Amino acid sequence: MSDYQIRLLEESETRAAHTVFLGSMHNAPASDESWELGSRGYPTQRCFGAFRAGRIVGSAQSFPSTMAVPGGAVLPLAAVSRVGVRADHTRRGVLTELMRAQLRQIRELGEPLASLHASESVIYGRFGYGVACRGRTVEVEASRGRPVPPLPGVGEVRILDTEELATELPRIYERIGLHRPGMMSRPRGWWLMQLERRLALKERIIAIVHSGPDGDDGYALYETTMVDAAPDRQDRRIDVFDMHGVSLGVVLGLWRFLLGADLVRSVRAWLRPLDEPVELILPNRGDCRTANLEDETWLRLVDVPTALAARTYGVAEPVVLEVHDRFLPENSGRYRVGKDGVERTDAPADLELPVDALAMLFLGDLPASQLAATGKLVPHEPAALERADRLFSTARSPHSGTFF
Ligand SMILES: CC(=O)SCCNC(=O)CCNC(=O)[C@H](O)C(C)(C)COP(=O)(O)OP(=O)(O)OC[C@H]1O[C@@H](n2cnc3c(N)ncnc32)[C@H](O)[C@@H]1OP(=O)(O)O
């Protein structure tokens, strides 16, 4: 590694870093037009580069955001993205040093959480990230002749004009709020990259908005693809890639609208929360299938005591966790966690776990007993497992719903 230098990038170097990232993902460099639109969302002073002989060969960046944790508190979050090392420089520790520099920066910036979406599940566990939210890809056959019956409390659904998307959707997302553990705020740069750039490149994106008694309270963004065309038939599939609502009822109202669209054979929605029971609104629940169950958010507790203290806990006697963190050793230690709060302690550990397993517990995705049974957590006091299950459990499945 001594041949490599890791440092923050100057703004003038970010396009080269972007090309390295795209290349690592087997993609061509961005066109001038795409770069001109996408670079406006590039974070400054948060892109790290790895250099060899003055040439950039790897990069990793993050942008500032916030994330809701169980109980409703919202914490500063570093959203890590565009990580890549040139294929002719991999497996020499370049990513390890990029991650080390980035985690230090995130700590210094006072962001207790970091999250990312991984291209492969083998990469990030060693850096202390664990899967904290999962999602299911749901595919529903549009049941022609058997429409979804009316649902209680569903309001109006309208289609937005394309020109309205860039202003209306950020407004509605903000209005919906971070009401579920794992949901994150979307800075302006996110909307520029994920929506405005795609609209400017003339991608056909359709948005519907749900309004209830208090105004706009949900939306879905989707594309359509022709799956079968015949002289007397045009069958399309709707692909929903972004959908949020203030409540489950609102989201199911959006589903109902999509399933009633003409010329549509099926509706597929990507990475939906695990507690969104679409099958229950269908005349035939067999028309709905889970096409995939996937990891959604990888979470890193960068400041363990701050993160643990920010969430609420269920009703049970406290447990003492012994946490190990190889990359940020200041997090290592014992923590007494209970419904009345969290404190460092010298008391003997009930449960011992690495910081990546703590991330799997933290938002309520997996119970401690499952982590113990799979060897991710060591129970020194077996009775503490049931207490930990109750302390960390949450009423709603954690889910981010924001891809970056
Ligand atoms: C948030 C995002 O942006 S996700 C996108 C991530 N980027 C990609 O997938 C692009 C393609 N891949 C790459 O660019 C690189 O292979 C990276 C970034 C994943 C890894 O970079 P490298 O510099 O090779 O990682 P580094 O050498 O530091 O590896 C550290 C350890 O992880 C292991 N490792 C890293 N990547 C992988 C992998 N893809 N598969 C298996 N093991 C891996 C290494 O073997 C090494 O193990 P060791 O410590 O036991 O020796």
Residue 320 sits in a domain whose CATH number is: 3.30.1050.10
293 and 310 inside one domain: no
Q: At residue 208, does pLDDT exceed 80?
A: yes
Give the model's pLDDT for residue 38.
Answer: 78
Question: Any idea which residues carry the catalytic annotation?
Answer: 124, 404
Segment 114-155, tens digit of pLDDT: 999 999 999 999 999 999 999 999 999 987 668 899 999 889
Q: What is the pLDDT of residue 80?
A: 98
ipTM over 0.90: yes
Domain boundary among 245, 268, 297: 297
Maximum Cα interatomic distance, the chain, rounded to a whole number of Å: 75
- CATH number of the domain to which 85 belongs: 3.40.630.30
In 3D space, the residue among 267, 268, 247, 254 whose CA is nearest the CA of residue 219 turns out to be 254
Q: Is residue 259 part of a domain?
A: yes
Is it the case that residue 87 has pLDDT exceeding 70? yes
In this predicted model, what pLDDT tens digit does every residue of 320-355 receive, in sequence order? 999 999 999 999 999 999 999 999 999 999 999 999
pLDDT tier for residue 34 given thresholds of 50, 70 and 90: confident
**Looking at residue 287, what is its pLDDT?**
94
Task: Determine the average pLDDT of the residues in 263-289.
Answer: 95
Mean pLDDT of 219-234: 88
- For residue 315, give its domain range: 303-392
Tell me, in angstroms, the distance from the centre of ligand 1 to residue 399's CA.
25
Which residue, 272, 297, 322, sits at the end of a domain?
A: 297
Count of positions (residues) in the chain: 404
pLDDT at site 217 = 98
d(CA 355, CA 349): 15
Does residue 229 carry a pLDDT above 90?
A: no
| CB-defined site of ligand 1, < 6 Å | 24-25, 80-85, 90-96, 116-120, 122-123, 126
Strands of the 378-379 sheet, one edge to the other: 341-344, 333-338, 319-324, 351-354, 378-379
- At residue 141, φ and ψ (nearest 5 deg) are -75, 125
Same domain, 157 and 288: yes
343 lies in the same domain as 362: yes
Residue 94: pLDDT over 80: yes
Q: Which atom of ligand 1 is nearest to the CA of 118?
A: 4
Query: Given a cut of 70, is residue 294 above it in pLDDT?
Result: yes
Ligand 1 atom nearest to CA at 92: 27
- Residue 49: strand pairing partners: 7, 59
Mutate to test the pocket of ligand 1, among 95, 295, 296, 327 (most ligand atoms within 8 A of CB): 95
Buried b (16+ CB within 10 A) or exposed e, 145-177: eeebeeeeebbebeebeeeebeebbbebbeebe
Residue 145: predicted pLDDT: 67
Whether residue 114 contacts residue 77, with contact meaning beta carbons closer than 8 Å, is answered with yes
Would you say residue 403 lies in a domain? Answer: no
| Residue 282 domain flag | yes
**Overall number of domains in the chain:** 3
Q: Is the pLDDT of residue 243 over 70?
A: yes
Average pLDDT estimate for 310-325: 98
Give yes or no: residues 141 and 287 share one domain: yes
pLDDT for position 136: 97
Same domain, 320 and 355: yes
- Looking at residue 202, what is its pLDDT? 86
Same domain, 156 and 220: yes
Task: Report the pLDDT value the prediction gives residue 142, as an integer from 0 to 100.
Answer: 87
Q: pLDDT band at residue 40, thresholds of 50, 70 and 90?
A: confident
Let me know if residue 167 belongs to a domain. Answer: yes
Is the per-residue pLDDT at 41 higher than 80?
A: no
